[in-house]
A and B are shown apart, each in its own frame.
Chain A
């Protein structure tokens, strides 16, 4: 569906400044008198802090201050960052402190801030701060952490179980008792990082004249940061301002409020000078949240026709050492497993384990890639055991379009039932298989094998809730200048949020996207907002902006009808003016209309209109818009080296109505690349003492242009009935099916050996070992 500007690949308004090198990222902010900070961090995964000696560091020329938690406590209402999402499942409260006090619980935990003339000196001084540690036992593996004799992540804790819950419906044990086939799998997905190319950062200044603290933070959620600063520092809302400048990528971890945010802000207040802290990449590896470590022991019961009777199992989720977000990730993962298939009975017992590692938060995909990996691996297993085509097994189990909207028996984290709002999953599957040449592949595979090449094809469906509510704010105002100003609590982090909002509003107000200005990511400009997460901004901010623009348009037409002495039904908004449709020569500019309701002292407004030409909407949408799609991957495996090369990658995504095809494609491609990283390259290693062993880009591999295949994407548009634009979120869609599809393809390529893929990422050395094992098994059997 296409409008004047909606549905068009409008060029991004963000681009010009960024291309000129005139972006304003947090590290580009330089204030007069500004000092720079570095943090003293724990080198231990677990230790008691016996003593902190800072005299040598303070003696260094150019050092202004070193603050520990003890120095900050008098200025803090609470020393904990209270960030955990509500849940009844918590067994213990592990919100983290602003700085470690007498115990450190992961490598990289901040202990003290050093503020100096510049970062060079601050880092020199940080190295001179002597901290006496008494090392304590640590635990790296979330399964081991739940053993009764495991070292405690927090020394005084009774155990390492952070939370426990079950996601369940139907009589699962009965479903299994009578099932003709039951298959069991142990599966693992590994943690990685977000690795926005810009690390985190903060610049704080305290304006004494107005007693206002301003924090520029590289955050996806400036309003949450604003609230936490107010809470922790005991300041009124109008004495704190948080601005997210240009963000060099977010991908989840930047939605978290971090110790460095509040400590940098407080340091600026205590010193009376602006303070900047910029995270370096090594810190990013140890202090920015990560995600995805999950261990699953699962069983699937199917009937003789491969129809699912039930799924049950246990999930152990690695939470890291503190709560940075909550139990949302294992919740998402457990919810994803049965989401798009007809699963009559389900029970997933979820244990959330503390480990001596950096805390976990959403990373693009947020539990959905893991859940998808689990269900899609199980269905591949069913196909193999029953001698059926992998796609056929899925076709028999997908929820049909005729059932939409489909109320599942699952509950969202807020307790609302999960409802699949729209989509045609079987048609989506049929289309991608057709486009990818699924049916022809066995012929191609045979031909390749005749040449000694091991090629395989893999496939995975996905379904993901997007646009998490309850709302996002938007105000649309036409100013006397004629400019249309949009303000929203949405947060721009590189996806083109400003362009999206300008398009949505321009659609109603003349179609001139360039006439619209967009203000986001500023707590002072917008009183209320949630920010960027959960593929939510187009769904929620877009919808609110749409409704506000419709309201402003209505009012503008009413006023114009007075000014032009024409009936509203005869009027249209064209670029910067309202005109009479039939004649076009009678018109009034948007600026003139705005002026007529801006008020002139002593003169009446036009009859029946209220002052000002603006509207605010906070459209509440609790239910999530479910995007769906699939990926088909062809790979070639070198059986000598274990190298996996992606030969072809086809994606199909139904993210509802598409507002800007170029931007949607960009989101999907970025997500796909992230998924390929998770499938084949990205490994955040820890040794048995929870010491990270991959803390640079030589050790931790991100996908580069040479590994990345050309991705062919196709789109379907099933409008969501949940919002006025019919949109669904797309920011995370690309990543979700990738690891599952790649695992399926690698297994298919190696089917002559009977190699089974049960984890991601899939590494060359592991593959070689699996091939050797399989060969040895084969020889033993013959």
Chain B
């Protein structure tokens, strides 16, 4: 049996105190301990980007981090984006309007990548969107709908109140 530690992590603004095995990945911590199954695992070696979350505001691969590394830090996941099931984030709305997703498995990671991009670069060029997305694999869309969604979302977010 693996050693355990007590950790305190702020996840989506809520402080969570949990005892975890030291080898538990951050992704499994979110999915299994906290039931936040929106963070997906596609490759578990840091390439596909489906598990992307924000770690102290910066995108990170939850499959390549251990839960214990998040002790004392803030983690933001896909579940935090929408105000409610009825009021989606403009990025989520843009994805639905521009067919930015098909199977939806890579989508949470892509949305978290784009949340970071659009926060830092509110008016990105298409090339910048593509570079930002180059760490996320999608097999369904050919990326074109995703890029269109991101550019549309940027427009919506600039027009609306910043979140």
Minimum Cβ distance to chain B for residue A653 (Å)? 14
Contact with B44, one of A23, A281, A673 (Cβ below 8 angstroms): A281
Evaluate contact between A30 and B102: CB separation under 8 angstroms.
Answer: no
Evaluate contact between A12 and B99: CB separation under 8 angstroms.
Answer: yes
Minimum Cβ distance to chain A for residue B2 (Å)? 7
Bound CA–CA A663/B100 (angstroms): 11
Minimum Cβ distance to chain B for residue A74 (Å)? 33
Evaluate contact between A62 and B1: CB separation under 8 angstroms.
Answer: yes
Evaluate contact between A19 and B23: CB separation under 8 angstroms.
Answer: no
Evaluate contact between B142 and A669: CB separation under 8 angstroms.
Answer: yes
Evaluate contact between A673 and B134: CB separation under 8 angstroms.
Answer: no
Minimum Cβ distance to chain B for residue A359 (Å)? 21
Interface residues of B in 51-96 (CB under 8 A from A): 77-79, 81-82, 85, 88, 92, 95-96
Minimum Cβ distance to chain B for residue A676 (Å)? 8
Minimum Cβ distance to chain A for residue B65 (Å)? 16
Evaluate contact between A670 and B102: CB separation under 8 angstroms.
Answer: yes
Assuming A197-B103, A246-B104, is B96 touching A708 (CB within 8 A)? no
Select the stretch in A256-264, A300-308, A422-430, A696-704 that faces chain B.
Answer: A696-704
Q: Say yes or no for B47: interface residue by CB 8 A criterion.
A: yes
Evaluate contact between A669 and B144: CB separation under 8 angstroms.
Answer: yes
Evaluate contact between B39 and A249: CB separation under 8 angstroms.
Answer: no
Evaluate contact between A494 and B47: CB separation under 8 angstroms.
Answer: no
- CB contacts (< 8 Å) of A199 on chain B: these are 42
Minimum Cβ distance to chain B for residue A22 (Å)? 7
**A-B pairs with CB below 8 Å: how many?**
184
Minimum Cβ distance to chain A for residue B51 (Å)? 11
Bound CA–CA A495/B101 (angstroms): 9
Bound CA–CA A20/B131 (angstroms): 24
Evaluate contact between B137 and A666: CB separation under 8 angstroms.
Answer: no
Bound CA–CA A734/B82 (angstroms): 34
Evaluate contact between B85 and A696: CB separation under 8 angstroms.
Answer: no
Evaluate contact between A704 and B99: CB separation under 8 angstroms.
Answer: no
Interface digits, A646-670 against B, CB 8 Å rule (1 contact, 0 not)?
0000000000000000110110011
CB-based nearest B residue for A713? B144
Q: Say yes or no for A773: interface residue by CB 8 A criterion.
A: no
- CB contacts (< 8 Å) of B111 on chain A: these are 19
Evaluate contact between B133 and A21: CB separation under 8 angstroms.
Answer: no
CB-based nearest A residue for B108? A21
- CB contacts (< 8 Å) of A734 on chain B: these are 142
Q: Say yes or no for B50: interface residue by CB 8 A criterion.
A: yes
Q: Say yes or no for A1: interface residue by CB 8 A criterion.
A: no
Contact with B105, one of A16, A25, A665, A698 (Cβ below 8 angstroms): A25
Q: Say yes or no for A711: interface residue by CB 8 A criterion.
A: yes
- CB contacts (< 8 Å) of A703 on chain B: these are 142
Evaluate contact between B139 and A674: CB separation under 8 angstroms.
Answer: yes
CB-based nearest A residue for B50? A197
- CB contacts (< 8 Å) of A514 on chain B: these are none
Q: Say yes or no for A313: interface residue by CB 8 A criterion.
A: no
Most buried by A among B40, B99, B142, B143: B142
Assuming A197-B50, A702-B137, A710-B144, is B36 touching A21 (CB within 8 A)? yes
Evaluate contact between A20 and B92: CB separation under 8 angstroms.
Answer: yes
Evaluate contact between A669 and B141: CB separation under 8 angstroms.
Answer: yes
Q: Say yes or no for A384: interface residue by CB 8 A criterion.
A: no
- CB contacts (< 8 Å) of B106 on chain A: these are 197, 248
- CB contacts (< 8 Å) of B45 on chain A: these are 281, 696-698
- CB contacts (< 8 Å) of B35 on chain A: these are 30
Evaluate contact between B38 and A22: CB separation under 8 angstroms.
Answer: yes
Evaluate contact between B101 and A670: CB separation under 8 angstroms.
Answer: no
Minimum Cβ distance to chain B for residue A167 (Å)? 31
- CB contacts (< 8 Å) of B130 on chain A: these are 705-706, 708
CB-based nearest B residue for A195? B139
Evaluate contact between A19 and B40: CB separation under 8 angstroms.
Answer: no
Bound CA–CA A249/B143 (angstroms): 15
CB-based nearest A residue for B104? A18
Q: Say yes or no for A715: interface residue by CB 8 A criterion.
A: no
Most buried by B among A30, A195, A494: A494
- CB contacts (< 8 Å) of A456 on chain B: these are none
CB-based nearest A residue for B138? A197
Bound CA–CA A195/B140 (angstroms): 10
CB-based nearest A residue for B48? A197
Minimum Cβ distance to chain B for residue A268 (Å)? 19
Interface residues of A in 480-513 (CB under 8 A from B): 493-496
Bound CA–CA A211/B105 (angstroms): 33
Q: Say yes or no for B10: interface residue by CB 8 A criterion.
A: no
Evaluate contact between A494 and B43: CB separation under 8 angstroms.
Answer: no
Minimum Cβ distance to chain A for residue B55 (Å)? 17
Assuming A197-B42, A248-B104, A281-B43, is B139 touching A704 (CB within 8 A)? no
Evaluate contact between B47 and A16: CB separation under 8 angstroms.
Answer: no
Bound CA–CA A670/B129 (angstroms): 18
Contact with A708, one of B41, B81, B136, B144 (Cβ below 8 angstroms): B144
Interface residues of B in 119-156 (CB under 8 A from A): 129-131, 133-147
Assuming A16-B88, A19-B92, is B143 touching A494 (CB within 8 A)? no
Q: Say yes or no for B17: interface residue by CB 8 A criterion.
A: no
- CB contacts (< 8 Å) of B21 on chain A: these are 120
Q: Say yes or no for A251: interface residue by CB 8 A criterion.
A: yes
Evaluate contact between B42 and A21: CB separation under 8 angstroms.
Answer: no
Q: Say yes or no for A75: interface residue by CB 8 A criterion.
A: no
- CB contacts (< 8 Å) of A280 on chain B: these are 44
Minimum Cβ distance to chain A for residue B91 (Å)? 9
Evaluate contact between A666 and B103: CB separation under 8 angstroms.
Answer: no
Bound CA–CA A666/B140 (angstroms): 8
Q: Say yes or no for A15: interface residue by CB 8 A criterion.
A: yes
CB-based nearest A residue for B2? A120
- CB contacts (< 8 Å) of A662 on chain B: these are 99
A-B contact pairs, 12 of them (CB 8 A): A15-B101, A19-B96, A20-B85, A20-B92, A194-B139, A249-B139, A281-B45, A670-B140, A673-B142, A704-B133, A704-B137, A705-B143
A-B residue pairs, 10 tightest by C-beta: A21-B38, A494-B103, A18-B104, A248-B105, A673-B142, A21-B78, A669-B142, A697-B47, A705-B133, A28-B37
Additional A-B contact list (6), CB under 8 Å, known A19-B81, A197-B48: A21-B108, A248-B103, A697-B48, A697-B137, A706-B131, A711-B142
